[in-house]
Chains A and B, each alone.
Chain A
Amino acid sequence: AQSVTQLGSHVSVSEGALVLLRCNYSSSVPPYLFWYVQYPNQGLQLLLKYTTGATLVKGINGFEAEFKKSETSFHLTKPSAHMSDAAEYFCAVSEENYGQNFVFGPGTRLSVLP
């Protein structure tokens, strides 16, 4: 069964600093990987996803993530944090099997300090 871990339940960065949110997964088959963002009192929306092909994927709002199979990681980065990036970020993994296809990590709350 697949699982997702996110190191750090809360990350704080200064405005303009690098954002790095960590995600590691376990999967018995090649995974499809996702990052979702949740702003306060809203549902989740997709930031980016990796399916096949290029391991560095770019998403909305200047975020990108790199799939590293050898490290079973899919860390999310953004070169320069903006105040509007403050939100909860969830990493998720998907496998093709019957039933529940998506497993979410516990989430990382990103705070951006002025």
Chain B
Amino acid sequence: GAGVSQSPSNKVTEKGKDVELRCDPISGHTALYWYRQSLGQGLEFLIYFQGNSAPDKSGLPSDRFSAERTGGSVSTLTIQRTQQEDSAVYLCASSPGTRRTGELFFGEGSRLTVL
């Protein structure tokens, strides 16, 4: 498809398990973002990839969170030893590049529920 694709759309897991969330950005977009949206809350920045540059990880809430982007395209957000407070919608967005005028194109999100 032409848009940002995220999978799974819904994930229910038990506390302590690891989860992987996938994001497939729009083809040709060099910038990729992960945000977290907790119930009734705004968007919390997690991590930002731009081309081959080192990612900006300043928003990752703990060392249980990590992300990688392979080949400048698909990205995976990994949460290890999940906790109940990790329950949220994880949104991925991509952008054409570093130009300030670039808008973000969002996927529909992955809803994570930790029991």
* Contact among A42, A51, A90, A94 with B42 in the assembled complex (CB-CB below 8 Å): A90
Does B115 sit at the interface, judged by CB under 8 A? no
Chain A positions within 8 Å of B35 at CB level:
104
B101–A32 touching, CB < 8 Å: yes
Sort chain B's interface into a size bin: 20 to 34
Chain B positions within 8 Å of A32 at CB level:
100-101
B58–A49 touching, CB < 8 Å: no
Number of A positions contacting B (CB below 8 A): 26
A106–B58 touching, CB < 8 Å: no
Which of B33, B91, B104, B109 gathers most chain A CB within 10 Å? B104
Q: Which of B75-115 contact A (CB under 8 A)?
A: 91, 93, 95, 98, 100-104, 106-109
Does A26 sit at the interface, judged by CB under 8 A? no
A43-B4, A43-B107, A44-B91 given; A51·B100 CB < 8 A = yes
* Contact among A41, A46, A96, A100 with B45 in the assembled complex (CB-CB below 8 Å): A100
The 8 A-B residue pairs with the shortest CB-CB distance, nearest first, are A43-B106, A106-B42, A99-B56, A104-B43, A44-B106, A96-B100, A43-B108, A51-B101
- Residues on A close to B: CB < 8 A? 32, 34, 36, 41-46, 49, 51, 90, 92, 94-96, 98-107
